[in-house]
Each structure stands twice: as C-alpha cells, then as structure tokens.
Amino acid sequence: MANAASGMAVHDDCKLKFLELKAKRTYRFIVYKIEEQQKQVIVEKVGEPGQSHDDFAASLPADECRYAIFDFDFVTAENCQKSKIFFVAWSPDTARVRSKMIYASSKDRFKRELDGIQVELQATDPTEMDLDVFKSRAN
C-alpha cells in the first residue's frame, strides 16, 4: 500500500504483528524500521510477552530512528490490572537529519495503519521513554 505523500509503503507484516499483539498479546513490543531504499516500513524485531521495558529500550538503536509499539501493563490507583498500547516515535538527536525527516513525515500515515494505539510517545533520548514516562502517560 503506497502512500502518495511520503511515498512510503507499509509491509503487511507490520499490521499483522500489531493485530496479534492487540488481540492475542503475542508480543510485548514491536520495533519497526523504514527501509529507505525500498521505501517501506518493515518489522525489525518483536519482543516476547515476558520481556520487560528494559528489553524494549535496549532494542532501540542509540543513533537511528524507529517506530515501536509497546504493550504496557500497569496497576491503577483502584488496584485494577490494565494495559495500554503505546506508539513510540523514537528519533534520537544523533540520528541523521534525513532519517529524522523521513520518519517524521511518514509517522501519521503509518500510525493510521495500526488501529488500536492508545498513547503516543515521542522520544529523542532514553529519558523521554523511561518507565516513569510510561506510567504517567498510561493513567
């Protein structure tokens, strides 16, 4: 499915993995990468349900942009077990300018392909997506 605006296609696998995470909680997280040569978004990595926020943070490259989905479990003030699906736009300061532009211009279009995102998080360094940020945004 090509996108006229940024010329970016979204690989079917991107949506399938997201649906599996949403419906069956098959994964804890999904990391998506834009293949700039092929002009498409692909699944780079998935995290098993038992993996943690630390595992998720470690799977994002320090100096390259990525999109990611993280299924965040938390307990509410009323002691209810809940989960929220986060979309993370990872755009580290050290990434190439061109790469940041491509990820920024393709983001909204890509997000629309993934129906069920509850919270969006933009992060330019690891402190902007640490566990406390997830906790404060989930409530």
Looking at domain 9-138, its CATH superfamily turns out to be Severin (3.40.20.10)
Instruction: For residues 120-131, give the mean pLDDT.
Output: 96
Asked whether the beta carbons of 92 and 124 are under 8 A apart, the reply is: yes
| Domain boundaries defined on the chain | 9-138
Average pLDDT of every residue of the chain:
93
pLDDT for 4 beyond 60: no
Asked if 21 and 71 touch (Cβ cutoff 8 Å), the reply is yes
DSSP lists the bridge partners of residue 41 as: 10, 34
pLDDT in tens, 39-98: 899 999 999 999 999 999 999 999 999 999 999 999 988 999 999 999 999 999 999 999
Which of helix, strand or coil describes residue 65? coil
- pTM of the entire predicted model: 0.93
pLDDT in tens, 97-106: 999 999 999 9
Distance CA 46, CA 30 (A): 4
